[in-house]
Structure 1
Amino acid sequence: MDYLKSVVPSQLLSERGSNLVIINPGSANIRIGLASKDTPLNIPHCIAWHTTQEPRRNVQDQLLNTQVTTTQYMEREKAYDMIASFLKIPFIDEEVGNNSYPRKMGRVDGLNPQNSRKDTSFDWTDVYQKEPSSSSALESSENKGTTSESLGQHRDANTEELGSSNHKYKKVIYGEEALKISPMAPYTLHRPIRRGHLNISLHYPMQQVLEDVHAIWDFILTEKLHIPLHERHKYAAMLVLPETFDNREIKELLSIVLRDLRFSSAVVHQEGLAAAFGNGLSTACVVKMGAQVTSVICIEDGAALPHTEKTLPFGGEDISRCLLWTQRHHQTWPQIRTDMFTKPIDLLMLNRLKESYCEIKEGELDAVGVVHSYEDGMPAGSHKTRLTALNVPPMGLFFPMLLVPDAYPPPPSVWFRDYEDMLEDTWHMEFPRRPEMSDGLFSSMNTGYPMWDSYPAFSAKPKKEEKIGLAEAITSSILSTGRIDLQRKLFCSILLIGGVALTRGLVPAVEERVLHAIPSNEAIDTVEVLQSRSNPTFVPWKGGAILGILDIGRDAWIHRDDWIRNGIHIGSGRKYKDSYFLQAQAMCYINS
């Protein structure tokens, strides 16, 4: 411990982190990298497989998505009006009804090179394997400086040539390139994690989900981090997992890391605790706002409090969906076919518009932006348009009916029943036995397997999703701690992490809305959101790196052979201890 107090943190990370890989998977992106690095790779967590199946789905799970019902549409408009009152802007129908001039939209045929990066279009992914005999025109078209229009001309000119027998489709495409595949290309996009869970459904079986996770992670390790399979026995892995993950999901990912990716050892820590470490905190209310899920959990003295966990089924992608709905309702969106469910490249565009223009502030908020249309492999069309009510979509965090998350529901989770608890010592407990059962274990074979009827099936943690707004979730989570001294400390130690935390104006909005959500009978009058020390998107990953190098005892680490032979069964000598029970042994170092 004296060494930890005297050593420079960067030196410690460099010494102990060179053979430790931190993996922080999410519904939309995966953050992965060596603990010795300052920042991780941030790669879209998806994969596109070439397919000859007909009829073909552009996105594997697109059939799970539903249309907004009439009731949901009415509730959405009601939520809009509540937000409008709060932001002091016209109500949803008032603005359209009083609009005496037509909306003007101009098409920009050529992109101005002086425009900022946010106005540049995405290019379609080249789905063909590179051949030595490829034409020079095609090679030149792949240069980064090529404009979208000239790129389209090159590819149109080479379409017939590329379709010849000399060119073959790539079998698989990863990451952002997978999101930019033309809808006409014979590929199906797979997203193995959705709404904070493995994306298992009738359309996407478990084996395929796990195989896709393995393929994506193996590609990143090999091609991006340059850690080939035969060298991975020299490395350890830390999984920094969202609180939404269940028992069985944790074990499946551990099996991928140890059995398939062949790391020598691995450990699991939860995202909320890692985020506190990543920001140098011992006590905080951690609010993770990701692409598809928002979660809240309180940390006290370096240990998470499981009963404070709240999960909200919405995130940044829902704000992007709401941005599209708002513009269409106000008739500012160009007459183009934008579908973020079946055309992932449209989701990339909407996310960029949201990040560039959306913020939370009072008064009418308009901006002139460039909207791009992507049609069946054609070059991107550019439409300069006035976007309006840009402060409404991010307010959906506080009024979730505006976001209608049910239109993009989580996968069904009927399979999350587990007879092995990862979190506590369950093998020493006395299992209840039904009184009609005889001493013979298989005494009633003719009625099925009644011995399992008395065997407990563990639900790792309550995964109930809350139908409340962000401010109510934070308030409820903190007040559930039950101690006024801790509550006051937590209300002044709110930590916002995740990509949505970068939204301009969010911090004062959270402080104001949470303060108003606190019941009047509570003796609390101060709410403060702490400033993140680094990019909020990477804070949990950085905290995982710190936990990895400071975990001196290594008691929670699982070795590859132990896991493959024994799992978490009796006699393995090692068992995963959830970070609910992890005490911060080096907190004095972090806070010094």
Structure 2
Amino acid sequence: MDYFKTVVPSQLINERGSNLVVINPGSANVRIGFANQQVPFNVPNCIARHVKNGSNDGLKRSVQDQMLNKQATPVQELDREKAYDTIASVLKIPYLDEVASNSVPRKMGTVEGYASHQNRSDTSFTWTTVVEKKPKSSFEVDTSQAILSEREMEKGAESKPKDSHSVLDGDEFIFKEFICGEEALKISPVEPYCLSHPIRRGHLNISHHYPLQQVVQDLHDIWDWVLTQKLHLPPRDRNLYAAIIVLPESFDNREIKEMLSIVLGELNFSMAVVHQEGLAAAFGNGLSTACVVNIGAQVTSIICIEDGVALPTTVITLPYGGEDISRCLLWVQHYYQTWPPIQTNPLAKPIDMLMLNKIKESYCQIREGEFDAVAIVHSFDETRSVGSHKTRLSALNVPPMGLFYPTLLVTEEYPQPSRPWFNDYEDMLEDTWHMELSRRPDMADNLYLGANNGLNMWDSYPVIPSRPKKDDNLGLAEAITSSILSTGRLDLKRKLFCSIQLIGGVSLTSGLVVAVEERVLQAIPSNEAIDTVEVLQSRTNPIFVSWKGGAILGILDATRDAWIHREDWIKNGVHPGSGRKYKDSFYLQAQAMCYLNS
């Protein structure tokens, strides 16, 4: 610990971070990078696979989980309208009946061309090219090189072709086997591809149409593509690297086990360790005690940290996030009749969701009064070129208020399928507790427990709920208040209410900090002796703070006992007697905070 107090943090990161890869998967995006990088690569966590003719009925759907979608029921639509009117009263804007009475649509026009620098966001995308040149056989390559040499000699250096393909006619093109990341979201629906999201709403997206084996394979291929194409880390070199997996609190034991199997098995890392997203966020901002509120694309999670230790009983997950706000933005514009007469369907066309997310990030904010803005929206019709439409969007302060009134968001459009697979709440290590474990050469005597002794090590650990508390209709302010009050101690509750940390992309919404402070204060029961609520400003980008904290946790020696070696995992799962267990992220020693606070 003396070394941690004297070393310069950047020096420590450079020394130990070059062979560490940090993987922080979310529902919509995965953040991957070397621990000594400033920021990771932020890639949509999705993959589109080429569907061959006649296979699986052609997979008529272009998005894997579209079979799960359903529209809002009349009751849900009524609840949404009531939520809007409640928000209208708070924000001092017209009620829905007043909006409906104004039946004259707003003026809008088609824009042939516009200067992107004059707009707050560029929502123009182009369809992804899904074909590539067919690889040549060795004979064809030799022939091509011979032709090139002969022509170069005849025509001289000045006529040397820029591309070897240009001298050969009849290049054959084939469909790419799969496409990952944002390019996968921009594939035209008419192309023979099926888009899959391996993680949905904070869980593996398992359904009757999307089995576990395919989910795991898709996750592997996405992460392998990022590692190879972005980090330039090929499979043959990964045994020289260790992986830090920063996972959301919503993941179950078996889901965590699958993640470890991907990283230590298929991706071939030498070691891995799992840390919680909330705890990593606290480390990333140099906080020892905080209430971490992570507002992601599809899930909002809350967890309290005390002295560098996560409190599992405080975890609450809410099944809504930034994408729900984007869809709500579209609903509001349709109600106000401000949206152009184009077919915008973020559920069927992921490229439409990309556009809505850009508009939301650029224009939506929380403020009182009527709030309109002129924006450029686009129509993505696979049979025509991309169309640009200039329009005045209305009530842009309403959608983000759905965080406090979740019935406005109608999150049922991505319903959770019935998955008995998740009823397996047994600890993933239980099958190794009653077997003779092989002893590693570097294992100390006091760590080797032999057979049937592994349970003793965890006797002092409290029971961790297999799945966090979840309430679909609980607003953000009430959820934060409930999480903090569950800690019980007045001194800790006061400290946590003054140490709220907002992370995730939605936390960048203008006006959200003030709204959270005001509404959490109002949600605290009158019998609680608490009169101050404060949201702390993030010291780093809220989108990457958990990833950065994971890098710090992986570098600190205090976490070394939690590392899992690849050979241990493949042979026995985990050695419980060696102190390597993924749940250790709940109980990291607070002494590591000395490094951050020194």
Regarding TM over 0.5, the answer is yes
Partner of residue 494, structure 2? 488
Q: How big is the shift at 1:461?
A: 3.5
8 Å CA contact retained: 2:364, 2:396: yes
Within the candidate set 80, 83, 98, 2:84 is matched to: 80
Give matches, 1:172-571, under 5 Å: 172-418=178-424, 420-422=426-428, 427=433, 460-552=466-558, 554-568=560-574
Summarize the Cα distance change of 1:519–1:121 in structure 2 as closer, same or farther, 3 Å threshold: same
Summarize the Cα distance change of 1:578–1:553 in structure 2 as closer, same or farther, 3 Å threshold: closer
Partner of residue 437, structure 1? none
Partner of residue 10, structure 1? 10
What is the TM-score when the length of structure 1 is the normalising length?
A: 0.87
Q: How big is the shift at 1:132?
A: 9.5
Residue identity opposite 1:327 in structure 2:
Q
* CA deviation vs aligned residue, 1:430-474 (integer Å, no higher than 9, x gap): xxxxxxxxxxxxxxxxxxxxxxxxxxx996244534420000000
Q: How big is the shift at 1:412?
A: 3.3
8 Å CA contact retained: 1:294, 1:312: yes
8 Å CA contact retained: 1:556, 1:576: yes
Summarize the Cα distance change of 1:469–1:423 in structure 2 as closer, same or farther, 3 Å threshold: farther
Partner of residue 160, structure 1? none
8 Å CA contact retained: 1:422, 1:577: no
What is the TM-score when the length of structure 2 is the normalising length?
A: 0.86
Q: How big is the shift at 1:427?
A: 4.0
Partner of residue 125, structure 1? 128
Partner of residue 457, structure 2? none
Identity of aligned residues (%): 70
CA distance in 1, matches of 2:220, 2:107: 49
8 Å CA contact retained: 1:246, 1:416: yes
Q: How big is the shift at 1:197?
A: 0.2
Q: Are 1:578 and 2:581 an aligned pair?
A: no
Partner of residue 91, structure 1? 95
Q: Are 1:45 and 2:45 an aligned pair?
A: yes
Q: How big is the shift at 1:575?
A: 3.2
CA distance in 2, matches of 1:419, 1:100: 54
1:371 counterpart SS class: strand
2:294 counterpart SS class: strand
Residue identity opposite 1:188 in structure 2:
C
Q: Are 1:63 and 2:67 an aligned pair?
A: yes
Figure out how many residues of one structure are paired with residues of the other and give that number.
Answer: 533
RMSD: 2.1
8 Å CA contact retained: 2:278, 2:546: yes
CA distance in 2, matches of 1:427, 1:247: 16
CA distance in 1, matches of 2:498, 2:430: 32
8 Å CA contact retained: 2:316, 2:468: no
CA distance in 2, matches of 1:209, 1:425: 24
Q: How big is the shift at 1:3?
A: 1.4
8 Å CA contact retained: 1:200, 1:412: no
Partner of residue 112, structure 1? 115
* CA deviation vs aligned residue, 1:249-290 (integer Å, no higher than 9, x gap): 000010000010000000000000000000000000000000
Residue identity opposite 1:537 in structure 2:
I
CA distance in 1, matches of 2:105, 2:559: 68
CA distance in 2, matches of 1:4, 1:301: 17
CA distance in 1, matches of 2:479, 2:336: 31
Answer with 188-197 or 561-570: which moved more.
561-570
CA distance in 1, matches of 2:77, 2:425: 42
Q: How big is the shift at 1:579?
A: 1.4
* CA deviation vs aligned residue, 1:159-214 (integer Å, no higher than 9, x gap): xxxxx992211111010000000111110101000000000001101000000000
Give matches, 1:24-35, under 5 Å: 24-35=24-35
1:585 counterpart SS class: helix
CA distance in 2, matches of 1:8, 1:591: 12
2:555 counterpart SS class: helix
Q: How big is the shift at 1:116?
A: 3.6
8 Å CA contact retained: 1:421, 1:458: no
8 Å CA contact retained: 1:273, 1:303: yes
Partner of residue 164, structure 2? none
Partner of residue 22, structure 2? 22
CA distance in 2, matches of 1:49, 1:591: 47
Unaligned runs of 5+ in 1: 134-163, 429-456
1:496 counterpart SS class: strand
CA distance in 1, matches of 2:526, 2:346: 42
Summarize the Cα distance change of 1:14–1:176 in structure 2 as closer, same or farther, 3 Å threshold: same
Partner of residue 153, structure 2? none
Residue identity opposite 1:305 in structure 2:
L
Answer with 81-90 or 405-414: which moved more.
405-414
CA distance in 1, matches of 2:305, 2:60: 46
8 Å CA contact retained: 1:422, 1:578: no
1:544 counterpart SS class: helix
Answer with 385-394 or 105-114: which moved more.
105-114
CA distance in 2, matches of 1:355, 1:105: 22
8 Å CA contact retained: 1:568, 1:576: no
Larger helix proportion of the pair: 2
CA distance in 1, matches of 2:219, 2:275: 19
Summarize the Cα distance change of 1:397–1:271 in structure 2 as closer, same or farther, 3 Å threshold: same
CA distance in 1, matches of 2:418, 2:195: 19
Q: How big is the shift at 1:7?
A: 1.1
CA distance in 2, matches of 1:525, 1:458: 31
Residue identity opposite 1:549 in structure 2:
I
Summarize the Cα distance change of 1:263–1:578 in structure 2 as closer, same or farther, 3 Å threshold: same
Residue identity opposite 1:339 in structure 2:
N
Q: How big is the shift at 1:246?
A: 0.1
8 Å CA contact retained: 1:417, 1:458: no
8 Å CA contact retained: 1:235, 1:264: yes
